[in-house]
Chains A and B, each alone.
Chain A
Amino acid sequence: MPTVEYKGKTFNVDEDGFIDSFDNWCPEWVEYVKESEGIQELTEEHWKVIHMLQDYYKKHGIAPMVRILTKVTGFKLKKIYELFPSGPGKGACKMAGLPKPTGCV
């Protein structure tokens, strides 16, 4: 399994660059994804999305549909793309430590 070294931490990642397990998620991972996704600064809005994704994942074992994400956070899809330029399925899920969604997204 490929690994990523960042600020003294080593992360195992899958072929798509997602963290191998949600249990290994930590603030350094967020920092690493922030840099690799080209996000300038993490705001409370980013964290709102990350926490929602994680709460849903803990309950259901998958990422929520975007419509549920937008309803719960109150952010429109356009806003989510502004926060996470590579989109909810890739950038946001990756940063939140979720596995890559298993669809053609």
Chain B
Amino acid sequence: MAEIVSPKKQPEYVKEHLQKFNLAACMTCGTCSSGCPITGTPGMEGWDTRKTLRMLVYGMTDEVVYSKFPWICTGCGRCAYGCPMAIDIPYIMLHMKHLRPRDQVPGILHKGVENCIKTGNNMAIPKQDYLFLLADLGNELAEEECPGFYVPVDKENADILFFPNSKEVFADNDDMKWWWKIFYAARENWTVPSENWESVDWGLFTGNYEATKIFAQRKIEHMKRLNIKRMIMPDCGGGSYGCRVGMETCALDNPENRVNFIYLYEYLVEIIKEGRIKLDKSVHAGKTFTWHDSCKHGRELERHFGKGFYEEPRWIIQQCVDNFVEMEPNRANSYCCGAGGGMWPMPYEDESAYHGRMKHRSIKETGADVVVVGCSNCHDQLMKRLPKYYDDHDYEVKYIWELVADALIIEPWSEEEIKKAEEEAEAQWKKFGIDLDEMF
């Protein structure tokens, strides 16, 4: 028999926050739940977005805060996009995460946030290890195919500031080489920070507003300290979106915190159109490619900041391949991969894969050989998790910058350019105390 619920009064601090999101305007139509892939998640029977919003209206804040529901919400924003009353449901769910005591945040998420605050990266990788990796891996790329290549660290007056992702520094090292090759081919004047270099933002995943602000402020400080022209927003959907949210907060505190940023799609379009890199489509001949619209680069970015990147990635892909097919649904209607909002590192793998079933179906229906992505979170979900659960369609997953890097025609550097870069590299690593011969 159904339990009778009596409305309770919301605590003032919750009520005040929820009032920003017009929750009272909800018509209970259920559009949110109908469009949300987490409806029906095994183990969460009886829960859906519409009911959760009603619970909040009835004052059942604790029941929501201490449930798993806000955590399995990937923040994809499909609910809010369809909501006839434009209620910002992902931000309400984010606030439910915010209200959870920090020692009860699921899995490793809060530990990662603490690490990042203390050490400048989620995984607490020591500075010398990080610099060793950049030096060693940079040498490898120089020897393999880019003579003179090195990773410029803390370079003043650079044109581009780039942020590494700790998962690539820690484990997926070779994945860094694609961007490096692009910078090499474009002869970019770029740099990365020596400290506080983390690109991802788990503050966004845990509703830790203060952490999101700290991480954005650090990026702003790098821009000012090194007098850099533009930073490329992190590729990770949460990283770039969190950074954007944090930067807005920082700019509200002080307008001098406004710095120039560019999204990776804008950067790639720019260097292709300006002829700074040249591409050869033939390397991708014989395969069909499709594009996965990441929520935080498309729908959610558009909803909150007025511009989603829908057409730019499609244009970039078509500079690299001949056979491109659309996925259905796409652009603002696209389904989330199932790993947003921290669902990749969180201990809810089955729930995440259940969410991803809709994306898997979309991919399968394209018949494409390769799914191209622009977010490292989506990348791992589509490449590593979904195939474990759904094995009826094989496909490859490639980053959009990987696609570009694979199609690059690199114009060789001159002897002078190589010599100059090698001298700069030697001086830089000496300054940081990195001697590869002595390390192992």
| Interface residue total, chain A, C-beta cutoff 8 A | 24
Do A102 and B133 have beta carbons less than 8 Å apart?
no
A103 and B112: CB pair below 8 A?
yes
Closest-CB distance, A68 to chain B (whole angstroms): 6
The answer to whether the Cβ of B100 comes within 8 Å of any Cβ in the partner chain is: no
Number of A-B contacts (CB under 8 A): 78
Contacts of B167 in A (CB 8 A): 103-105
- List the one stretch of B120-128, B188-196, B319-327 in contact with chain A: B120-128
Q: Which of A65, A71, A100 contacts B125 (CB 8 A)?
A: A65
A61 to B124: give the CA distance in the assembly, Å.
9
A91 at the interface (CB under 8 A from B): no
B200 CB within 8 Å of chain A? yes
- Interface mask (A20-63 → B, CB under 8 Å = 1, otherwise 0): 00000000000000000000000000000000000000001111
A14: B residues at CB distance < 8 A? 107, 347
Q: Which B residues are in CB contact (< 8 Å) with A16?
A: 107-108, 347
Residues of A within 8 A of B107 (CB): 14-16, 100
Task: Please give, as numbers and ranges, the residues of chain A lying within 8 Å of B125 by CB-CB distance.
Answer: 62, 65
A103 vs B380: C-alpha distance in the bound complex, in angstroms? 13
- The smallest C-beta distance from A24 to any residue of chain B, in angstroms, reads 18
| A4 adjacent to chain B (CB < 8 Å) | no
State whether A103 and B166 are in contact (beta carbons under 8 Å apart), knowing that A62-B123, A66-B171 are contacts in the complex: yes
Interface residues of A in 56-101 (CB under 8 A from B): 60-68, 71-72, 87-89, 99-101
Name which residue of chain A comes closest to B110, CB basis. Answer: A102
Min CB distance B13 to A, Å, is: 28
- Within the complex, the shortest CB–CB distance from B45 to chain A, in Å, comes to 21
Quote the shortest CB–CB distance from A66 to chain B (angstroms).
Answer: 5
Set of chain A residues within 8 Å of B115, measured between Cβ atoms: 102
User: Within B145-172, which residues are at the interface with A (CB < 8 Å)?
Assistant: 165-167, 169-172
Residue from the list B112, B129, B377 in contact with A64, Cβ < 8 A? B129
Smallest CB gap from B344: residue in A: A104
Report the Cα distance A104→B345, complex, angstroms. 5
B106 within 8 A of A: yes
Q: Scoring B residues 351 to 392 as 1 if CB is less than 8 Å from chain A, else 0, what string do you get?
A: 000000000000000000000000011001000000000000
Chain B residue contacts of A103, Cβ below 8 A: 112, 122-123, 166-167, 170-171, 200, 345
Report B's interface with A, CB cutoff 8 A.
Answer: 106-108, 111-112, 115, 122-126, 129, 132-133, 136-137, 165-167, 169-173, 200, 236, 344-345, 347, 376-377, 380, 440
